[in-house]
């Protein structure tokens, strides 16, 4: 089995710096053999999204690591939102499927920052940018979004920046 690059939390990755279609195809085969329907469906969803990104109108032949992370984060967010809606509608059976799928997708994302790590990173960025008030939130958010891309949700970055600048 190949080793995981520094940016990921899952040892199922290739030696490359990003998740490849080949890796996903291997994982799909394993899920089929294990008859794991939830995992299979989630992996097929990842494959679909990666293929769409690769064949998009303005796309190059390779998908960047940032694009892969953005795609996976979008997929996790969609499933979390769907699960929440299903719970509100009293459909816990469907919500459970969505939760299981986003758990599978999260395996392929970089390790997420804890709230304490996020706070430390934002404090450092605020110090580096010299921001002192909410008026400078845009400057801090620009740097933070680039530095913390893939490591945490944008909403959490925004909330922490607001908290620390107030």
Residue 58 pLDDT > 90:
no
Which range is least confidently modeled, 61-65, 129-133, 138-142, 154-158? 61-65
For residues 55 and 120, membership in a common domain is answered with no
- Both 68 and 128 in one domain: the answer is no
Decide if 80 is inside a domain: yes
106, 125, 146 - which closes a domain:
106
Cα 131 from chain centroid (whole Å): 28
SS3 151: coil
Q: How far apart are CA 123 and CA 143, in angstroms?
A: 12
Shared domain for 48 and 30, answered yes or no, is yes
Look at residue 155 and tell me if it is in a domain. yes
Q: What angle do CA 85, 88, 89 make, to 5 degrees?
A: 85
Domains held by the chain: number: 2
CB 69 within 8 A of CB 109: yes
Extract the tokens encoding 107.
């395996």
pLDDT band at 18 (very low <50, low <70, confident <90, very high): low
Residue 102 and residue 121 in one domain = no
Same domain, 101 and 161: no
Domain that holds residue 67: 21-106
Q: Are 28 and 43 in contact (CB under 8 A)?
A: yes
* pLDDT tens per residue, range 91-150: 999 999 999 999 999 999 888 889 999 999 999 999 999 888 889 899 999 999 888 887
Task: Give residue for tokens 């279609």.
Answer: 21
């Amino acid at each position: 089995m190949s080793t995981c690059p520094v940016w990921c939390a899952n040892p199922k990755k290739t030696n490359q710096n990003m998740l490849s279609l080949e890796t996903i195809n291997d994982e799909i085969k394993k899920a089929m053999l294990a008859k794991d329907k939830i995992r299979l469906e989630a992996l097929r969803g990842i494959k679909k999204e990666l293929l769409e990104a690769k064949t998009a109108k303005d796309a190059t032949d390779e998908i960047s690591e940032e694009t892969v992370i953005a795609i996976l984060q979008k997929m996790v967010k969609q499933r979390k939102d769907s699960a929440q809606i299903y719970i509100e509608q009293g459909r816990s059976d469907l919500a459970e499927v969505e939760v299981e799928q986003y758990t599978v997708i999260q395996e392929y994302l970089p390790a997420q920052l804890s709230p304490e790590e996020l706070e430390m990173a934002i404090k450092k960025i605020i110090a580096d940018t010299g921001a002192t008030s909410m008026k400078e939130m845009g400057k801090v958010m620009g740097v933070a979004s680039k530095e913390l891309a893939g490591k945490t949700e944008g909403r959490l970055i925004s909330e922490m920046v607001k908290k620390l600048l107030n």
